[in-house]
Chains A and B, each alone.
Chain A
């Protein structure tokens, strides 16, 4: 039985796909996004987050090793909620595809129970990994963080060549996709690049079921402190209404319907 490393399971998750979902957060990521709001999931391994509450030191352990069986059993507890709302389970992180074997086994078990699964990925893995997982996934939530390679490198530390090619191939194979476009002021909000991202999304065709625009939020700030890390971004960053409006009109011109998440 394969074991995986997860942090938490979010029940009644409403932002990670259709219906009522449970989102499992897996630990470990091969991107280093400057704005990451889940640094505890980005860094490898188990860890402790230390913080002060009214002058008393508290410590919160992050990371649980769990078998695919146990995890599937845990997630299946909400089966009736998934059924009644058209929901299911979303594997997120971190980068869940880095624990592909574990995710595949868990989602396989869930599928056997009639529970639909989705993978929330940044896609920076060999295509074969995603292809292998796709047999168990009804949906991919796929992040495209920048179109221009140098912007992508600057923001995430890695090239996006493989990422873009992966999402293209997933689309060609007819996998259902929700594309997520995170927008961070001063990092990846260059107007031309935004437009190129949208154009690229359009080129993916029918497989794209939905496009979500996620304006940057600073909810992760506290976690950096707790991990003893320096928060890399200015704390008052905020996507302007004008910028969102601009994205909206560019999308409209291209005939793409977008959903803008409220922060």
Chain B
């Protein structure tokens, strides 16, 4: 039976049984592949040959919206569907198609993130594939990727990530604007602009596309009217009938003008989300600061008596739950980096207003209650907090964390906002930041695509190359040499020499990664042209161009760097054991590592390595090294330019992020034993968290270590994941202590913190009996997922995180 955290309903306007039914349907839903979008896009593209690509995309989007299946989920107060069935993933052939065809027969047989697919759908895909083959975003990227990037990929240093074959996502529309104006007004604005005579070709194509996509979006919404009326006719239940009639009326006028109520506003932001995910297969299309832009609608409706708190909670919960009906299919290779069918649809509450006062309100608390009832991995629920966050709200958040769902993840206003402000973004905008991915942050309605995860850099692998003179002994590829000689032989006579080698290789591969980003970015500007998403973000409408072409006000991107703690611990081990204490020789260490610590000697050396101080225990000497590692990368960033520099955005910059989703697991597979005592192939550390199992001094020491890092310069998100045993949070007293822990972490200067609250016994049992644990949601990285949908290696990595039993 579902329970509220603290909410006490005063009437029966919230139907818990119905929420439970919806929840159960979402929990038991099956991922599948839907070919509708692919078919309609193909049909449309075949009739628009020769036209500008953005117009072709706009027309295909419109054609799809007017013809795709639309349905209303039974019981739901919220309508809008991305594909023909609940949890079906559409196919986006303009981004990439070859892998889809190749994996058609494998979707059902994956070890994680399985997709059902019918023979008919396979047939559909096979039929359209030849039309797209050679003409996709992926093909364009491959054509333009320089040879060194491929070599670095073969060395497993660089991973191109999703953006080399899918859309970009990672944006937050300007919700307050679209709720105030509606699609119609924006479409009219575009039409007005088309009358201007100073337009470039790019401007004209953009405005034309905006008109096409918004008109189609309005038509799409109206289609639900007929569905609702139809369902109403065939519904005996009086209450449901009335609801469906209301939904039908709502769909007739929604977005023709301003949103008229909380329900309409909620429905609207949901639809925008769905539409974005039909336009592009990027992910992390986020809701931004929901409790801020929705509050005026909530307040108005409550004050005028048209809405009760109970009804508001019901509507909000339905909307949250409907987020589990969307899906995205990725190539299997990418799935390893992002398991659990994540969409990273972040929804944020709490935090400062632009004027610096705390903006949390009644709706913030209601959202926490809604997420508790939702109990699914989406939306990716986050909370901003600061010294003025009300104690009651923080306690409520702690209660939700305690349920074990891993949410909300907590963002520290002072550090996150400072990071953004230091990029050159005005103070008021920085204070208005939100999550635009898992832990990535940006300014909603003003940031262009992508705070992070352009290209992934495996720092564990770079460390290996440093020890082998730049030679990857697995692939036999050497792109750069530390000492100028070919081959893997290199000797370091001091820590400084070793450190300089790290900096040399880091720069070499980071430069390459930036090149790799640019290739993807240039291609995305064409293939991911997104008039719908763009027209809802400043200043695309003013400048007459898409986000990717420089329409956004702030253009901040970053790569994702994986393994700083493994790297820092390894450098510390070498520094101490070889240079300072001379307990072992290079040769001994290398031999022990090469054998993966086998044999008596190997084990003895591993014990020495393991005993060296590790990051996460508040030991200055090693924490300092990890800090220097962060700084060594930060130093490189001012040199790097984005593709949009000087083309429109007020700020165009590279920044840093450690948001690396599940990539720390597969990246670890590519890295042999490391000097910190880590076994070959085992995961690297996650985000800026200590390496799994090496933080032995309790959670306060972890916070103290992480607080030493330059967190306010990791402006695209610094991920810290911790695990507490359920017993540690049980009872009122422990809850208060945990809330104190959160407040203290905030004061100490942590960027972000998220929690898993499940004991190892339960997780192991879930591995053995997945059928009993479909409801077990865990923190994976910057997002949550159903534990049982993850691959076994990732499940193990989660179990291996140090459990704070206190």
0 or 1 for each of B663-702: is its CB under 8 Å from A? (1 = yes): 0000000000000000000000000000000000111110
Choose among B704, B727, B740 the residue that contacts A85 (Cβ–Cβ < 8 A).
B740
Do A81 and B728 have beta carbons less than 8 Å apart? no
Minimum CB distance partner of A8 in chain B = B697
B 737-753 contacts with A by CB, 8 A: 737, 739-741, 743-744, 747-748
Measured as residues with beta carbon below 8 angstroms from the partner, the interface class of chain B is 20 to 34
Choose among B603, B698, B703 the residue that contacts A10 (Cβ–Cβ < 8 A).
B698
**B734 touches A (CB below 8 Å):** yes
Kindly list chain B residues whose C-beta atoms are within 8 Å of the C-beta of A78.
700, 704
B675: min CB distance to chain A, Å: 20
**A30 touches B (CB below 8 Å):** no
A118: min CB distance to chain B, Å: 15
Minimum CB distance partner of A80 in chain B = B744
Do B744 and A14 have beta carbons less than 8 Å apart? no
Choose among A22, A77, A81 the residue that contacts B741 (Cβ–Cβ < 8 A).
A81
Kindly list chain A residues whose C-beta atoms are within 8 Å of the C-beta of B440.
none
Kindly list chain A residues whose C-beta atoms are within 8 Å of the C-beta of B740.
19-20, 81, 84-87
Kindly list chain B residues whose C-beta atoms are within 8 Å of the C-beta of A19.
737, 740
A212: min CB distance to chain B, Å: 12
Given known contacts A20-B741, A77-B618, A81-B741, A13 and B806 CB-to-CB distance under 8 angstroms: yes
Choose among A14, A58, A84 the residue that contacts B806 (Cβ–Cβ < 8 A).
A14
Kindly list chain A residues whose C-beta atoms are within 8 Å of the C-beta of B733.
14
**B804 touches A (CB below 8 Å):** yes
Kindly list chain A residues whose C-beta atoms are within 8 Å of the C-beta of B699.
11-12
**A83 touches B (CB below 8 Å):** yes
Kindly list chain A residues whose C-beta atoms are within 8 Å of the C-beta of B703.
81
**A1 touches B (CB below 8 Å):** no
A53: min CB distance to chain B, Å: 10
0 or 1 for each of A77-110: is its CB under 8 Å from B? (1 = yes): 1101101111100000000000000000000000
Kindly list chain B residues whose C-beta atoms are within 8 Å of the C-beta of A240.
none
Kindly list chain B residues whose C-beta atoms are within 8 Å of the C-beta of A80.
744, 747-748
Given known contacts A12-B699, A12-B700, A80-B747, A20 and B618 CB-to-CB distance under 8 angstroms: no
Do B743 and A84 have beta carbons less than 8 Å apart? yes
Minimum CB distance partner of A85 in chain B = B740
**B736 touches A (CB below 8 Å):** yes
Among A10, A11, A86, the most chain B Cβ lie within 10 Å of the Cβ of A11
Kindly list chain A residues whose C-beta atoms are within 8 Å of the C-beta of B748.
80
Q: How many angstroms between the C-alpha atoms of A78 and B607 in the bound complex?
A: 30
Do B727 and A262 have beta carbons less than 8 Å apart? yes
**A56 touches B (CB below 8 Å):** yes
Choose among A20, A58, A83, A86 the residue that contacts B700 (Cβ–Cβ < 8 A).
A20
Q: How many angstroms between the C-alpha atoms of A21 and B148 in the bound complex?
A: 53
Minimum CB distance partner of A10 in chain B = B698
Given known contacts A13-B806, A14-B728, A14-B737, A77 and B704 CB-to-CB distance under 8 angstroms: yes
Question: Do most interface residues of chain A lie in helix, strand or loop, or is the interface mixed?
Answer: mixed
Do A11 and B737 have beta carbons less than 8 Å apart? no
Q: How many angstroms between the C-alpha atoms of A84 and B744 in the bound complex?
A: 6
A 5-53 contacts with B by CB, 8 A: 10-15, 19-20, 22
Q: How many angstroms between the C-alpha atoms of A20 and B618 in the bound complex?
A: 17
B384: min CB distance to chain A, Å: 18
Kindly list chain A residues whose C-beta atoms are within 8 Å of the C-beta of B736.
85
Q: How many angstroms between the C-alpha atoms of A55 and B353 in the bound complex?
A: 60
Do B737 and A20 have beta carbons less than 8 Å apart? yes
Choose among B603, B741, B747 the residue that contacts A56 (Cβ–Cβ < 8 A).
B603
Kindly list chain B residues whose C-beta atoms are within 8 Å of the C-beta of A56.
603
Kindly list chain A residues whose C-beta atoms are within 8 Å of the C-beta of B743.
84-85
Among B618, B697, B700, B748, the most chain A Cβ lie within 10 Å of the Cβ of B700
Q: How many angstroms between the C-alpha atoms of A56 and B602 in the bound complex?
A: 12
Choose among B607, B697, B700, B727 the residue that contacts A81 (Cβ–Cβ < 8 A).
B700
Minimum CB distance partner of B607 in chain A = A58
Do B744 and A20 have beta carbons less than 8 Å apart? yes
Kindly list chain A residues whose C-beta atoms are within 8 Å of the C-beta of B607.
58
0 or 1 for each of B696-717: is its CB under 8 Å from A? (1 = yes): 0111110110000000000000
A96: min CB distance to chain B, Å: 20
Choose among A84, A86, A87 the residue that contacts B747 (Cβ–Cβ < 8 A).
A84
Q: How many angstroms between the C-alpha atoms of A19 and B741 in the bound complex?
A: 9
Kindly list chain B residues whose C-beta atoms are within 8 Å of the C-beta of A20.
700, 737, 740-741, 744
Minimum CB distance partner of B736 in chain A = A85
A41: min CB distance to chain B, Å: 18
Given known contacts A12-B804, A12-B806, A56-B603, A85 and B737 CB-to-CB distance under 8 angstroms: yes
Q: How many angstroms between the C-alpha atoms of A10 and B734 in the bound complex?
A: 16
Q: How many angstroms between the C-alpha atoms of A14 and B739 in the bound complex?
A: 13
Do A85 and B806 have beta carbons less than 8 Å apart? no
A153: min CB distance to chain B, Å: 34
B 492-514 contacts with A by CB, 8 A: none
Q: How many angstroms between the C-alpha atoms of A11 and B737 in the bound complex?
A: 13
Q: How many angstroms between the C-alpha atoms of A12 and B744 in the bound complex?
A: 12
Kindly list chain A residues whose C-beta atoms are within 8 Å of the C-beta of B603.
56
Do B747 and A12 have beta carbons less than 8 Å apart? no
Among B607, B734, B741, the most chain A Cβ lie within 10 Å of the Cβ of B741
Minimum CB distance partner of A74 in chain B = B618
Do B698 and A11 have beta carbons less than 8 Å apart? yes
Minimum CB distance partner of A11 in chain B = B698
Among B603, B704, B727, the most chain A Cβ lie within 10 Å of the Cβ of B704
Among A10, A19, A84, A86, the most chain B Cβ lie within 10 Å of the Cβ of A84
B 323-358 contacts with A by CB, 8 A: none
Q: How many angstroms between the C-alpha atoms of A20 and B743 in the bound complex?
A: 12
Kindly list chain B residues whose C-beta atoms are within 8 Å of the C-beta of A84.
740-741, 743-744, 747
| 15 additional contacts (CB under 8 A) given A11-B701, A19-B737 | A10-B698, A10-B806, A11-B699, A12-B699, A12-B804, A14-B728, A14-B806, A20-B737, A20-B740, A77-B700, A78-B700, A80-B747, A80-B748, A84-B747, A85-B739
Q: Which 7 A-B pairs have the closest CB atoms?
A: A85-B740, A11-B698, A84-B744, A84-B743, A84-B740, A81-B744, A11-B700
**26 A-B contact pairs sorted by A residue (CB < 8 Å):** A11-B697, A11-B698, A12-B700, A12-B741, A13-B806, A14-B734, A14-B806, A19-B740, A20-B700, A20-B744, A56-B603, A58-B607, A78-B700, A80-B748, A81-B700, A83-B744, A84-B741, A84-B743, A84-B744, A84-B747, A85-B739, A85-B740, A85-B744, A86-B740, A87-B737, A262-B727
